[in-house]
Amino acid sequence: MRAIFYTGERGRFELDIAVPKNYPLRPPKIYFITKIFHPNIHFKTGEICLDLRSVPPQLKNAWSAVYTLQSVCRSIIALLSHPEPDSPLNCDCGNLLRSGDVRGYNSLARMYTKLYAHALPPSLTGE
């Protein structure tokens, strides 16, 4: 199945969600299809480094059958807004944030969004 997330940078990001047969006992596998500049998302594979013990607060102690696809998607949205530079899959991106270069990180994130993420349709941007 596919999910689409829209960001404040006028980006449209597609994700692939593979739900295992034994869900909810096992977590879904979720990957970004759209390339994204983010410390916790592998640029080439789209793999997400999402520690369910840390984001968001209601998801504690790793995977549990009570978690829903909605809660996992909310965790990914939270991760997009609040990157975890200390556990990067994109080391260059993580290094920018760890060094305090937030301006550089934001600039590159905007550039990559323009390059790889589909623009929002005019009806959603107010244009």
51: nearest Cα among 40, 42, 67: 40
Respond yes or no: is residue 73 known to be catalytic: no
Q: What is the CA radius of gyration of the chain?
A: 15
Query: Which amino acid, residue 80?
Result: L
Rounded Cα distance between 89 and 32, Å, is: 13
Residue 108, Cβ density class (10 Å: 0-12 exposed, 13-18 middle, ≥19 buried): middle
CB 65 within 8 A of CB 48: no
**Active-site positions?**
49
